[in-house]
Each structure stands twice: as structure tokens, then as C-alpha cells.
Structure 1
Amino acid sequence: MPSNKVVTYQGPGKVEVHEIDYPGFELKEGPGVPPANVGRKVAHGAIVKTVATNICGSDQHMVRGRTTAPVGLVLGHEITGEVVETGPDVEFTKVGDLVSVPFNIACGRCRNCKEGKTGICENVNPERPGGAYGYVDMGGWVGGQAQYVLVPYADWNLLKFPDKDQAMEKILDLAMLTDIFPTGFHGCVTAGVKPGSTVYVAGAGPVGLAAAVSAFLLGAAVVIVGDLNKERLEQARSFGCETVDVSRGEPKDQIEQILGEPEVDCGVDAVGFEARGHGGDSGREQPATVLNSLMEITRAGGALGIPGLYVTGDPGAHDEAAKRGALSIGLGLGWAKSLSFATGQCPVMRYNYYLMQAILHDRVQIAKAVNAVTIPLDQAPQGYAEFDQGAASKFVLDPNGVLGTTG
């Protein structure tokens, strides 16, 4: 069998590249695998040889020690690759297909999947609805920052690119379909972005930048991105965004300078639970800051899309309530303004086909917008370290040397 190098979590701040067994069509005992999933047969699965697999901000939360992720967990849920083997129950997926793998693992059979809620599939994780590759409390499915990965329910989950040669020409753009592009798009859709909207996106990391791109794709008139990181704000300006440096104070004041009023139509939280304060408090973690500020700056009757990650267990939080995922949210203001809220995993399959078409037909250049940078798998620890330090880049790992110099 071929070797299978993988990226593993080895404790707070520590990432290592190890070698594990080539995947088979059975979920075996390992870090984070619930007992009820051990021995699960995956005859409906496919083994994918990874072409591109990205480092995500959600991975970074685990690597910082801000979740209950177990040591030894194989990381990675943003996977693009070529099918090299299929199980006996796979009917339509073929060896040689070049595919995007949604980070949600979904069965296609349960009530939620049939309703298009693939982020909360009822059958892939015995502990709670919703599964994902290489992520804490998500069913124990082995991560895709690897040379090879097992994808269950292949006929349902995999998005095949229609032309392999065309896809390889745009592979860095297509690599964003697994998570951040649909996630950013979902944040904008649930925030109600439409032609002519004014939009504030909190966070200029890759998901925030993907949300900003999505807002323009949906017809927004003005897209404002807020962050503390000047390099990331510069990246947002590179494709037409207005920006707010929240280290200078509350967003509403800078928004008023841009729009002539302190409110926007739509708010998107692309930061999540590791948010920091504004102005003089910008060095101090305040996990509810973004949610509270978005309620203040989104007009009455508007909506908040919240693709940013919030967790039920945060051992690194600075107060006991936040360690349980309990935040001091000013819900009264949100109620008084009749704001709508949408949270949770993006149901990637709801959007990925259409976003693929937008990429293939040159309607969007998402890799350029998020500054995609290709690195070898062996440099994953360095990529994690640079990302943690605020690099204005989206790191794409090249486990099998397929991408070469495309970054």
C-alpha cells in the first residue's frame, strides 16, 4: 500500500507530520472516534488521493488548545482530490474523478439531509448531529491533511468537476469549495445580502474575505470588512472592500464615515469565539464582542449571518461561563431591533455546485482574494505557525506534489 503522510495535532501549539496506514473501508479506533463508530463499515465510500487540502481557521482553534480535541487527531477538513478506489456500494463515482469534498459529512438519507441541512446529518456522528473530517466531536472521521483520505457516502458527498484539465487550471480556486467559499457565501445569504445591500463583515481572515467576495457576487453595493490585522485589511481592499480598523475604536463610527450613517443592512460574523475587544480593549479577548457590535450596527429588521465558529467547550477561555460556551450576549437589543440570526455549519452542498460554476466561468477569483499560497505537506507546522501569527494568506497543502508552483 502507498504511504500516507498526515498532519496531526500533538497538543496546544504543536503540529507534526506523521505516517499512518493507508485508509480502508472501515472506521477504526483512533483519536476522537466515538466507540459507536469504531468498526463502522464504509462500503459506500471512496478513497481520495489528495490534490489540495487547506489549513482552516477552525483547525487553528484546535491547535491553539481552545477545544477538547484529543492528541493525535489527524487534522484537515478542506479536501480536493482524485478518486483512486471505490467501495462495493458506490454506483456513480468513478476512479479518476477529480472532486471537491464538502467538509460536512452527510448520509443523504436522514431527515436533515433530505431537507438540505447537510451540516447536521443525523447518521454520521453518534454523539450529536453533524460530522466533519479531522475535527473535534464530529464523529471521529480521519482528517484530510493527508496524502489519502476515506470519504463516506461518496455518491452523495462528492462534487465531480466536469472537465479535469479545466479544473486543474483553476485548482486553487476550486480548492476553496470544500469550506470557506460556501461558508462565506452562506454567511451572506443568511444575512440577507442582495443587490444594493450595504454589508459589514467582521473578520478579514480567509472566511471573512470569502464572505466579502460572496457579498459582491450577490450584488452588494458596499462591503466593509473590519479587523485588527492591517495586512489582512489591505488584502480586503485589494478587491474593492472598504475597511474598518477596530483597534481604532467601535466599528459604527468608522462605518458612519464610509456610509454617512452608522448602520448597515447586513452583518456577517466571520470571527467566532476568539474575538477581541475594540479600541483600547483590542488586546483583550472578549468572545461576545463581535455578536454584540453586529447587533448594534445592523439596521432594525436586518439579519446576522454567523459562520464564525462558536463551541460548547473552550478550555482556554478566560472565564468559567465562556469555558462552557456561555457568552454575555445583549439579546435584548437584537430582540428590540427584530434582528434575525443564523448560526451553525454551512450546508456546503447547498451552494458548492453553483459556486463551482461561477469559478469555472470566470465570475470570481476566490483564490486571489484570499491570497492562496501553496506549501508542501511537510511544511504544515510552519504554515500553522504563520497563520497563527496573522499571515494574510490561505495556506494550501500539496500532499502529493501535484500543485507544484501553481501557488
Structure 2
Amino acid sequence: MATNKGVVYTKPGEVEVREIGFPDLVLKDGPGVNPLNVGRKCEHGVILKVIVTNICGSDQHMVRGRTTAPSGLVLGHEITGEVIEVGRDVEFIKKGDLVSVPFNIACGRCRNCKQQDTHICENVNPDRPGSAYGYVDMGGWVGGQSEYVMVPYADFQLLKFPDKDQAMEKILDLTMLSDIFPTGYHGAVSAGVKPGSTVYVAGAGPVGLAAAHAAQILGASVVIVGDLIEERLAQARSFGCETVNLRQHDKLEEQIEQILGIPEVDCAIDAVGFEASEHGEGAGEAPATVLNSIMGATRAGGRLGIPGLYVTGDPGAEDAEAKEGTLKIRFGLGFAKAHTFVTGQTPVMKYHRDLMQAILSGKAQIAKAVNATVISLDDAPAGYKEFDGGVAKKFVIDPHGMLK
């Protein structure tokens, strides 16, 4: 029997690389697995040898202890791999295929999946619509920061790369198709970015940088990125974005006016989520800061794309309301300005094929934009700590040492 190591959340601030058992085409009991999902047969699934898998900012929320994630949860929802075993009911995906795995787990059969709303599949999570690998309250599907992983509903979900050699040459770009590139793109599309748009992106982490690059691809005339960390802002400037250091400047609209000549943008993207901070030197956590600031900085009639994560339970929040996901949002301002808000997980399958083509043609340079940085599986705990410190890198785990 082959062995399998994976990155496991142990306690707030700590992850470990452990033996986790080789995957099977059945969802077994384990940390975080919904009891109603235990024993679920997945003959429609495949086993992948993980070629690359990434550390995501969403993982960091769990590792920081800001969710109800249980100890022992195997992490990882950004997965690219080679098929080594196919279930009895898999018809089109074959052994040897190199594939990208959408982080949303979707059955392809329910009403939402048939409407391309694969982020809110009705059949994969007994608690509520929507699921993901290695994530709290998402049904318990085992994460993919590992050597091998099981992926259900393979024929429906998996994006096969047309040429394996070409894919391996561009693997640092293609690994972003499982989450952050479609997520950033979804944020830009939801915000209504079009040729000539002026765009503000809150947050210069990997999703924010992906959203900024996506806005450029969609034809934005100016993309402004705001963050508290200068190293991340330098990364945004490296591919042509304007930037605002919100630790040095607490009045966002004044900084936008210095760049554009007017104190507002056409549309805005929240790539921060619920662990937001107030602006200015020494400012503390305030989870509604980004939502309120982008309403203030976006023109009347504008759109707000909100791919940043917001949760229903935050045990690490500083006040009782925020602990249950209730935030002090200036909704009246959004109403007065007739803003459109688009929230929720990204339906990856709506975008990943087109974005793959953009990568393969050279149109998209997403690995460069997010500063993709390769580490080994054993180095993942150190990668988590470095990423948590705000480094301007997107860590790509190479479990088998296959990358050049």
C-alpha cells in the first residue's frame, strides 16, 4: 500500500506534515467529516498524484484559529494533479491525464450546478450548499496539500490540460486555475470591469493581485491596489498597478483623487474579507473596514465584487457580533449610491477553461503577478508562517519534487 503525507492543522498557529493514509474512492470518517458524508461512495471519482498544490489565504483563516476548524483537518483546496486511478463510473477522464481541480466540489446534477452555480452545489455538503476540499464546515472532503488526493465527480469537474509537456512548462501559471485566478477574475467580472474602467482592489495578497491582473486583462485603464504592507504593494507595482499604502494614508478617497483627479473609481473589489484592519498607523482589526471604504470610494451606480471571505462564525473576533459574522456595514450608503454587491465563493468552472487558454497563449502571466514561489511539502509549515507574516509570495507546494 502506498503512503501519503499531508499538511494537517493541529492548533491555532500550527500545522504539521503527517502520514494521512492513502485515498480511496469513498469518503471515510475523520476530522471535520460531516457524519452524513461518512461512507459516501465515489465511483464517479479519481485518485490524483498531486503535482502542485498551493497555500491559500483562506487556509490561513483556519490556521490562525479564526474558524471552528477541528484539529487534524487535512488542508488544501488548490490542487493540480495526474490521474492514477479512475472510478468505475468515470467515462471521459483517463489515467495519465494532467488536470486542474476546481476548489468547489460540485455534483453536476443539481439545479445550481446546471445553472453554472457550482459554488453552491446542493448535494456535496449536508450542512448547506457549497463545498471545498480541506475546509471547515464544507462536508469534510479531504484536502489536497498532500501527495495524493481523491476527487469526486471527475468527468464533470476536472479541467484536462490538452498537452502535458506544455502544461508542465507553464505549471506555475496553471496551478492558479484551481482557485485564485478564477477568484480574482470573478471579483473583477462581478465588479463590472470593462475596457476603460478605473478599478480599486482592496488587498495585495495573492487574490488581490490576481484580481488586479484580471482587471488589466479585461481592459481597465487604471488599477489601484490598496494594502497595509509595502512589500505587497511593490509586487502590485511590478506589473503596472498604482498603489495606496493604507498604513500611511487613512483617507482612501484622497489618495484615489491624487491618482485619478477625482475621489472615486468606477468599480471596486474586496480581496481582504473578514480579517480586515482599519487604515492608518497602529490601527486595529475592524472587519467591516473594506466593505465600508469601497462603498465610499466607488461611484454611484458602481459595482462591488466581493471575493474576500466572510464567515458565519469567527471565534477569534474582538466583539460578540463579529463572532457570528454580524458586521457594522454602512448599508445605507450602498443603498443611496445604488451599488450592486456580488458575494460568495467563486464558481471556478465558469471561468477556468477560458483562463487556461489565456495562460497557454501567453495572454495571462498570473504566476509572475502573484510571485509564485515553489517549496517542498516538508517546508509547508515554514511557508505558512512566512505567508502569515505578509510576505509578497504565493507558495506553491511541490509534493514529489517534480518541478524544474
Return the TM-score normalized by structure 1. 0.98
Query: Partners of 1:279 and 1:250 in 2: how far apart?
Result: 8
Shift of 1:234: 0.1
Q: Does 1:71 align with 2:71?
A: yes
How do 1:252-291 and structure 2 match up within 5 A? 252-280=253-281, 282-291=282-291
Residue number in structure 2 paired with 1:332: 332
Q: Which runs of 5+ in 2 are unaligned?
A: none
Residue number in structure 2 paired with 1:142: 142
Aligned length: 403
Query: Partners of 2:79 and 2:2 in 1: how far apart?
Result: 19
- After the TM superposition, which parts of structure 1 deviate over 2 Å for at least 4 consecutive aligned residues? none
- The amino acid of 2:341's aligned partner reads F
Shift of 1:347: 0.1
Residue number in structure 2 paired with 1:152: 152
Secondary structure at 2:48 match in 1: strand
Q: Does 1:251 align with 2:267?
A: no
- The amino acid of 1:27's aligned partner reads L
- The amino acid of 2:49's aligned partner reads K
- The amino acid of 1:310's aligned partner reads Y
- The amino acid of 2:34's aligned partner reads P
Query: Partners of 1:249 and 1:256 in 2: how far apart?
Result: 14
Query: Partners of 2:162 and 2:190 in 1: how far apart?
Result: 29
Secondary structure at 1:131 match in 2: coil
Residue number in structure 2 paired with 1:388: 388
Secondary structure at 1:149 match in 2: strand
Residue number in structure 1 paired with 2:362: 362
How do 1:119-134 and structure 2 match up within 5 A? 119-134=119-134
How do 1:154-303 and structure 2 match up within 5 A? 154-247=154-247, 248-280=249-281, 282-303=282-303
- The amino acid of 1:13's aligned partner reads G
Residue number in structure 1 paired with 2:43: 43
Secondary structure at 2:99 match in 1: strand
Query: Partners of 2:80 and 2:371 in 1: how far apart?
Result: 18
Q: Which runs of 5+ in 1 are unaligned?
A: none
What fraction of aligned residue pairs are identical, expressed as a percent? 72
- The amino acid of 1:132's aligned partner reads A
Query: Partners of 2:163 and 2:134 in 1: how far apart?
Result: 29
Shift of 1:283: 3.1
Query: Partners of 2:352 and 2:283 in 1: how far apart?
Result: 36
- The amino acid of 1:219's aligned partner reads G
Task: Kindly report the root-mean-square deviation, in angstroms, between the aligned alpha carbons of the 2 structures.
Answer: 0.6
- The amino acid of 1:162's aligned partner reads P
- The amino acid of 2:13's aligned partner reads G
Query: Partners of 1:84 and 1:163 in 2: how far apart?
Result: 17
Secondary structure at 1:104 match in 2: coil
Shift of 1:274: 0.3
- The amino acid of 2:259's aligned partner reads I
Shift of 1:76: 0.2
Query: Partners of 1:354 and 1:220 in 2: how far apart?
Result: 19
Secondary structure at 2:378 match in 1: helix
Query: Partners of 2:263 and 2:68 in 1: how far apart?
Result: 39
Residue number in structure 1 paired with 2:59: 59
- The amino acid of 1:272's aligned partner reads G
- The amino acid of 1:260's aligned partner reads G
